[in-house]
Chains A and B, each alone.
Chain A
């Protein structure tokens, strides 16, 4: 399955089915990550139930230092 993640075209195994699975794939599941799938912002609670599909555009953002 091919996804666009943060602007990068990335192949992920087809075993990755959900947003939560994708975060696990990138080893980000223990971090504070905010996910946007095809321009829809997902609450944390939706990560497990939200399915991902080929050609999805995913944005993964987090908090960084700023004023």
Chain B
């Protein structure tokens, strides 16, 4: 089970809801992924087109734990406001703190992320900060009391996979709360590797929504994350420099 704050989940896949070709494909991908946690953003409504459908109307929202992000925030203050707006819906108390410091790389601003997380913890939120793969920042966030740490594998939407496995392994090793690898995953094998390394979960969006067949990719990711987790729990063999025979050396029937 994945435990985040007071919530328990049997799925270790957290799925984003951005940029699907249409709501029907999105719904099917969400179903197939077996995710229990959906992320989304908070934005102004278009008051002149009130009839526009919203993705929440397509999904049975009560089946999911909603994880709003604070995307769009450039400062801690903005992030705190967005989190409070989301909470005022009465639909969620978890928040993904996302304070972007650079529009080109979409890397998080570490100082503002830390400040926003501290403030939101004081306000009683269940706080999951999206952070870089900085090991000491991850430690500081955990020390604040964050309920999970979410280091990026590589820049958001880049699909580059885990570009700093060493740092990620340090973060996983030192952290007692769940480490959820968030952003940059491109393929099922990326997700499986994160899980084999001991990540508690993976948060994906573009890898699924941008795939040629998002529904099939959602299924592939579900299987990869389950396989990676099983592999981690099973415990891999150590790497050796030379071969070790699997078949017995004795009793070979060759004279």
Across the interface, do B47 and A67 meet the contact criterion of CB distance under 8 Å? no
Across the interface, do A34 and B44 meet the contact criterion of CB distance under 8 Å? no
Interface string of A31-67 (1 = CB under 8 A from B): 1111110000111100000000000000111111111
Across the interface, do B16 and A67 meet the contact criterion of CB distance under 8 Å? yes
Q: Which residues of A contact B50 (CB under 8 A)?
A: 26-28, 31
Across the interface, do A67 and B69 meet the contact criterion of CB distance under 8 Å? yes
Q: Which residues of B contact A14 (CB under 8 A)?
A: none
Contacts A61-B43, A62-B43; is A67 near B206 (CB within 8 Å)? yes
Q: How far is the CA of A6 from the CA of B89 in the complex (A)?
A: 18
Q: How far is the CA of A28 from the CA of B56 in the complex (A)?
A: 14
Q: Which residues of A contact B41 (CB under 8 A)?
A: 63-66
A15 interfacial by beta-carbon distance below 8 Å: no
Interface residues of B in 48-78 (CB under 8 A from A): 50-51, 54-56, 66, 68-69, 71
Q: Which residue of the partner chain, among B17, B44, B55, B86, contacts A67 with CB atoms under 8 Å?
A: B17
List A residues at the B interface (Cβ < 8 Å): 5-8, 10, 26-28, 31-36, 41-44, 59-67
Q: How far is the CA of A27 from the CA of B59 in the complex (A)?
A: 21
The chain B residue sitting closest to A46, CB to CB, is B88
Interface residues of B in 81-98 (CB under 8 A from A): 81, 84-86, 88-91
Across the interface, do B55 and A34 meet the contact criterion of CB distance under 8 Å? no
Q: How far is the CA of A54 from the CA of B56 in the complex (A)?
A: 32
Apart from A64-B54, A67-B203: 13 A-B pairs, beta carbons within 8 A: A8-B47, A28-B50, A32-B91, A34-B42, A34-B85, A41-B84, A43-B88, A44-B89, A63-B68, A64-B41, A65-B40, A65-B55, A67-B71
